[in-house]
Amino acid sequence: MDFTHFNDQGRARMVDVSDKAPTHRTATAAGTISMLPSTVDAIRSGGVPKGDVLAVAQVAGIMAAKRTSEIIPMCHPLALTGVDVRFSLREDAVDVEATVRCRGETGVEIEALHAVSAAALTVYDMCKALQKDMVISDIRLLEKTGGKSGDYHRK
C-alpha cells in the first residue's frame, strides 16, 4: 500500500486531495460510557445538577464534528452537510452514536469519531459530581460510505 501522508523528506503532511472528485460521503461511529444505574436514572429523570445531559452532549458532539480539523492535525476542514448524534440509555450505560455527512474529496470518519468522543466526554463532565469512576470505551467506526476505498461496514 502506498501512503501519501509523508513528504519527500519522510515527514508528515496533509494529503493533497485537490485532484479527487467530490463524492457523497457518510460515516457512523459509536461509543459507550458505563456508569452506575443511579447515574443513568439521574440522566433519564433530569436530576443531574448541571442540566439536560443529553441535550448538551448532543450539541457538543455536533460542534466537535464541525471543528475536527482544528484538533486533529492532518484532517482537512470539511463543509459538513449533516451531523446527527443519538443516545441510547441502558441500565448501566449510555451508548452514543454519530453519523456525519458531506459531499467532498475526503471522508468523514474522524469527524464521526470525534463527535462520539466529545459527546461522551460531555456526559462525563456533566455527571462527574454524581460519579467519578465512569468509563468511556469502545469508540469505533461502524460504517463509512463513499470515496475511492469504497464502503466499510463493521462486522
Domain map of the chain by residue range? 23-145
Which superfamily is assigned to 23-145 in CATH? Molybdopterin cofactor biosynthesis C (MoaC) domain (3.30.70.640)
Distance CA 146, CA 107 (A): 7
Identified catalytic residue from 19, 125, 133, 151: 125
Burial label, 23 (beta-carbon count in 10 A; 0-12, 13-18, 19+): middle
- State the pTM of this model: 0.92
**HSE (side-chain half, CA atoms, 13 Å) at 72:** 21
Q: Is 125 a catalytic residue?
A: yes
- pLDDT tens-place values along the chain, 155 residues long: 556 677 778 787 778 788 888 899 999 999 999 999 999 999 999 999 999 999 999 999 999 999 999 999 989 999 999 999 999 999 999 999 999 999 999 989 999 999 999 999 999 999 999 999 999 999 999 999 998 888 999 99
**Other C-beta atoms lying within 10 Å of the C-beta of residue 48:** 19
- pLDDT the model gives residue 28: 98
β-sheet with 93-104: strand ranges across: 80-90, 93-104, 23-34, 135-145, 152-153
